[in-house]
Amino acid sequence: MARTLHFNQSNPIPGTGFLRLAQIVGDVKQEIPPLLPISKTAWYNGVKSGIYPKPIQLNPRTTVYKVEDIKALIERLSSQQA
């Protein structure tokens, strides 16, 4: 069964830099809309299996993802739906 992904166009992505996981999959408590409609667990499983980009550890408590990698991921997933 094909699954349709709906990307959030109202949550702009910066041109360069880094994104935290909450900025990618959203956070209800912080009222951050998701860029990708998946759970944190699905994200971590995708990272582990190589579907999603690997994180960058800035310090022991801060993990980020390159904006360029996330944009490429969204583009790849969008083209797979077309």
Instruction: Count CA within 13 A, CB hemisphere, residue 60.
Output: 0
pTM of the model: 0.81
pLDDT of residue 4: 44
Helix (H) or strand (E) holding 59: strand 56-59
pLDDT of residue 10: 60
pLDDT of residue 42: 97
> Cα 57 vs. chain centroid, distance in angstroms?
16
pLDDT of residue 9: 57
pLDDT per residue rounded down to tens, the chain (82 residues): 344 444 555 667 888 999 999 999 999 999 999 999 999 999 999 999 999 999 999 999 999 999 999 999 999 998 987 6
Report residue 28 as tokens.
């209800």
Report residue 79 as tokens.
């083209």
